[in-house]
C-alpha cells in the first residue's frame, strides 16, 4: 500500500507545480490519515489542479484586462504622497499604474531603495555615512551666498555651516576642487561663517564673471549623478523591532549605486523599469513590472490576482525590450490594419494601409469581429476537417 502512495506522489510531482507539490507533501506528512486516504488526497489534488487550469482557447487577455480594469476604476485619480518621515513624493495610484503600462522612459518620481550589507545595515551612523557619500552634492548646495566684485575681480563665497555639517562637507573638500577650476588664487577670509575669496587671474567682464559663478556653483563635491536627495528609513518587523536601515533616494542611478561599497547589490532596486532593463536585463524588468504594479494595487487596497499582472509583464517584455501597451506599443504594432484602425486613429491607419498595400488576413480577434467572422477564441479556435480518402 505504501508503495502505491509513493508512485501516486511521483506521478503527482510531474503534473503539479513545485510549490503546490511541496505543500501537498508537507500537509500529508503532518496529517494522521492512513495510506489509503493519503493516496486519495493526492489523486484529488491532481484532479483539482488539472480541472482548474486555463482551458485552451480561453481569452486570458480579455479576462486580465477586465480584472485589472474593474478595480482600476475605483482607484482615486489623486496622486498619493508618501506618508511618514519622507519629505519627497512618490507617484502612486492610477498615475503610476499608467506610467508602468505606458513604459515611460523615466518615471515621474524616480526613486531607489538601497539596502546595505549585513554588517552595516543595522548601524545608523554607517548608513548615514553611505547616504552622504551617494547624495549628489554641488557647491551650490552648501553655500548661503556668493558675491561678485566687478571692480576688484573677486568672488566671495559664504558657506552655510549647517548645510556643510548636514552633508558632511568641509572646506578642505571644497578648496582643492576650486583650485582645479584654475580661476584664481583662493584665500580663506573668515571662519564663522566660513568664507572664501577668489582673486581672479585676469580682468574679466561681467558676463564671464557670471559664467565663472555658475561654474563654481555646479562643481560636484561628491555623490552619484542623479541622486538628488537621500533619506534613511528604518525597516521594522511587526513587533516594532528594527530589522535594518535602508536608504531611500530621490532620483535613480542603478548602475553606479550597485558599485558603491557597503551596498547590498542583490536587493537594491529602483522603480525605473527602463533602467532596470538596461542594467539587469529584460527578465529583471519583467519582475519589476509585476512587483511595481502589485505594489500600487496593494497600497490602494485592491486585490488583483498576480497572474493577470504576470500576463501583462510577459506581453510587455516579449520582444526583449520593454514595450508599452497601447497605441505606441503593442497595439500599434499589430500586423492587421483593421485591428489598428478599430483601436485608435481609424482614418490614419486605413489610409496608410491602403497606400502601402497592406494585406488583411483576418487571423486576430478584432479584425474578425469587424468583418463578422468567427473569432479564434474558445470553441472558435477549433476547425473540423474531414479526412478525404
**Nearest Cα to Cα of residue 279 among 264, 304, 259:** 259
Cβ-defined contacts of 377-381 (< 8 Å, 24+): 377/57, 377/58, 377/59, 378/55, 378/57, 378/58, 378/59, 379/57, 380/57, 381/56, 381/57
Q: In the set 1, 11, 15, 17, which binds another protein (CB under 8 A)? A: 17
Q: 190 vs 235, which CB is nearer to another protein?
A: 235
Among 58, 129, 166, 283, binds another protein (CB under 8 A): 283
Angle at CA 223, nearest 5°, toward 219 and 225? Answer: 80
- Shortest approach of another protein to residue 16 CB, angstroms? 9
Q: Phi and psi of 208, rounded to 5°?
A: -65, -40
> Segment contacting another protein (CB under 8 A): 17-25, 163-171, 196-204, 221-229?
17-25
Taking residue 338's Cβ as centre, other Cβ atoms within 10 Å add up to 22
56 forms part of the interface with another protein (CB under 8 A): no
- Among the candidate windows 16-24, 59-67, 181-189, 295-303, which touches another protein by CB under 8 A? 16-24
Q: Are strands 143-149 and 229-236 parallel, antiparallel or unpaired?
A: unpaired
| Nearest residue to 327 (alpha-carbon basis) of 339, 343, 316 | 343
Residue 158 in contact with another protein, rule: CB under 8 A: no
Per-position DSSP letters for 16-57, written without gaps between them: S-HHHHHHHHHHHHHS---HHHHHHHHHHHHHHHHHTSPPTT
**CB of 219 or CB of 287, closer to another protein:** 287
Output the smallest distance, CB 339 to another protein, in A. 19
Which of 170, 210, 265, 354 forms a contact with another protein (CB under 8 A)?
Answer: 265
> Parallel, antiparallel, or unpaired for β 154-159 and 184-191?
unpaired
Contact region for another protein (CB under 8 A) — 79-87, 319-327, 334-342, 350-358? Answer: 319-327
Nearest distance from C-beta of residue 345 to another protein, angstroms: 26
In residues, how long is the chain?
389
Q: Is residue 258 near another protein by the rule CB under 8 A?
A: yes
Nearer to another protein by Cβ, of 152 and 266: the residue is 266
Give the three cell numbers for residue 382. Answer: 477549433
Of 48, 129, 259, 344, the residue at the interface with another protein (CB under 8 A) is 259
232 in helix, strand or coil?
Answer: strand
- Name residues contacting another protein, limited to 369-388 (CB under 8 A): none
Residues binding another protein (CB under 8 A): 17-22, 255, 258-259, 265-267, 269, 276, 278-284, 287-288, 306-307, 310, 314, 317-321
Amino acid at each position: 500500500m505504501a508503495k502505491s502512495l509513493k508512485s501516486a506522489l511521483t506521478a503527482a510531482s510531474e503534473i503539479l507545480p513545485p510549490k503546490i507539490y511541496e505543500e501537498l507533501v508537507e500537509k500529508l506528512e503532518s496529517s494522521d490519515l492512513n495510506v489509503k486516504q493519503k493516496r486519495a488526497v493526492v489523486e484529488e489534488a491532481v484532479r483539482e489542479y488539472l480541472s482548474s487550469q486555463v482551458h485552451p482557447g480561453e481569452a486570458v487577455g480579455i479576462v486580465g484586462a477586465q480584472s485589472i480594469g474593474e478595480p482600476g476604476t475605483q482607484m482615486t485619480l489623486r496622486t498619493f504622497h508618501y506618508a511618514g518621515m519622507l519629505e519627497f513624493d512618490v507617484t502612486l495610484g492610477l498615475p503610476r499604474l499608467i506610467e508602468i503600462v505606458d513604459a515611460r522612459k523615466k518615471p515621474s518620481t524616480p526613486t531607489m531603495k538601497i539596502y546595505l550589507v549585513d554588517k552595516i545595515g543595522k548601524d545608523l551612523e554607517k548608513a548615514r555615512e553611505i547616504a552622504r557619500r551617494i547624495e549628489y552634492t554641488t557647491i551650490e548646495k552648501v553655500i548661503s551666498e556668493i558675491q561678485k566684485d566687478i571692480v576688484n575681480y573677486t568672488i566671495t563665497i559664504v558657506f552655510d555651516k549647517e548645510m556643510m555639517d548636514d552633508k558632511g562637507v568641509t572646506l578642505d573638500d571644497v578648496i582643492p576642487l576650486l583650485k582645479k577650476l584654475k580661476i584664481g588664487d583662493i584665500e580663506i577670509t573668515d571662519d564663522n561663517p566660513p568664507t572664501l575669496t577668489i582673486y581672479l587671474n585676469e580682468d574679466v567682464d561681467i558676463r564671464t564673471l557670471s559664467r565663472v559663478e555658475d561654474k563654481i556653483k555646479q562643481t560636484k563635491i561628491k555623490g552619484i549623478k542623479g541622486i538628488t536627495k537621500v533619506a534613511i528609513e528604518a525597516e521594522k518587523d511587526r513587533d516594532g523591532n528594527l530589522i535594518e536601515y535602508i536608504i531611500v533616494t530621490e532620483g535613480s542611478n542603478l548602475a553606479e549605486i550597485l558599485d558603491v561599497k557597503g551596498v547590498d547589490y542583490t536587493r537594491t532596486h529602483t522603480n525605473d523599469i527602463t533602467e532596470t532593463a538596461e542594467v539587469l536585463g529584460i527578465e529583471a524588468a519583467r519582475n519589476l513590472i509585476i512587483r511595481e504594479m502589485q505594489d500600487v494595487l496593494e497600497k490602494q487596497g485592491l486585490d488583483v490576482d498576480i497572474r493577470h499582472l504576470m500576463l501583462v509583464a510577459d506581453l510587455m517584455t516579449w520582444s526583449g525590450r520593454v514595450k508599452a501597451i497601447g497605441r505606441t506599443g503593442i497595439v500599434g504594432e499589430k500586423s492587421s490594419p483593421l485591428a489598428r484602425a478599430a483601436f485608435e486613429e481609424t482614418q490614419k491607419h486605413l489610409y496608410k494601409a491602403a497606400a502601402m498595400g497592406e494585406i488583411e488576413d483576418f487571423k486576430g480577434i478584432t479584425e474578425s469581429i469587424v468583418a463578422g467572422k468567427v473569432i479564434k477564441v474558445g470553441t472558435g479556435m477549433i476547425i473540423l476537417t474531414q479526412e478525404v480518402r
